[in-house]
Amino acid sequence: MQETRLGLIGYGEVGRIFCAGLSGHMQSVCAWDVKLSDVALAVPLRAQAQRDQVSLCASAAELCSQADLVMSAVTASNTVAVARDAAAHLKVGTVFLDLNSASPGAKREAAALIEAAGGHYVEAGVMSSVPPHGIRVPMLLGGPHAKALADKLTAWGMDAHAVSEKLGVASAIKMCRSVMIKGLEALVIESYTAARAYGVEDYVLPTLQETFPSIDWSEEGRYFYSRVVQHGKRRAEEMREVANTVREAGFEPLMSAAAAQKQDWVAKLAAKGLFEGVQKSGGWQAYADHLIQQARKQD
């Protein structure tokens, strides 16, 4: 019998994927997103929800009154704020799964709010991009309630593993990985764009291929540019949380902070329409050319 009532806070790309992928396993699925309060932004969300047969709530309070499993899938900077909002309305015993890319400190702060309200907090470290995997995206869970939830999620077709009863471990794994992955995105964009500006990319990329032959550097470049252009704002927020993670460990996050700046820089240019007309299926060179042209305009 399908008894779980799912509530998704954050009906963006990740939220929509989880709602659609889990609906067949749930008694009901509802979602709420702050964008629903904006008439223009709400139109595509309501259309998507209708296609996915997802009920949209008018507030976090309404969502929490209906759900016994709440998933939070918002931007990293809103992790604690959403937990605080939900905690004010949660029913006792509600499981709160925090999917957000936040530092261990932020996850522990969110957990304290949920647990004080009688909820059961579980942190998640989502270990890859969600769109290619859907609900099968590899996910590490942490906290006292992680094992019980992991068993349920696995039964629903998800790839979830409990790694620790201690809060902060799963997010630390995720964020330390992001130092490399999101940092590599920023490095590739800086390296490739500069190489393109100097006209030496046909020399630089083969040397990378020779040093790391298992990586298709041209294809990775295309993918990295396209993801940062499309999701740079969200990635920059994550890298700021990565920087917090490094700082919480007692180190100055020099590399992570710089990567956040690079991601944010690309995101702001994308928001201004710099990359309009560039096809994600094309090569990385088109993205680099737009950046080069923008730089030369400013000279």
10-residue averages of pLDDT along the chain (299 residues):
87 94 94 94 93 93 96 95 97 97 98 98 96 95 98 97 98 98 97 98 98 97 95 95 98 98 97 94 94 91
Residue 218: the pLDDT is 97
Residue 2: the pLDDT is 65
Give one DSSP letter per residue of 201-261, joined into a string: HHHHHHHHHHHSTTS-HHHHHHHHHHHHHHHHHHHHHHHHHHHHHHHHTTS--HHHHHHHH
**Which CATH number describes the domain made up of 5-166?**
3.40.50.720
User: What is the distance in angstroms between the CA of the first residue and the CA of the last residue of the chain?
Assistant: 66
CATH number assigned to the domain with residue range 171-298, chosen from the 4 options 2.40.50.140, 1.10.275.10, 1.10.1040.10, 3.40.50.720: 1.10.1040.10
The segment(s) of the chain belonging to CATH 3.40.50.720 are 5-166
The segment(s) of the chain belonging to CATH 1.10.1040.10 are 171-298
The pair of three-digit structure tokens given for residue 254, joined into one six-digit string? 């020099």
The pair of three-digit structure tokens given for residue 197, joined into one six-digit string? 């500006």
Residue 52: the pLDDT is 87
With beta carbons less than 8 A apart as the criterion, state whether 32 and 57 touch.
yes
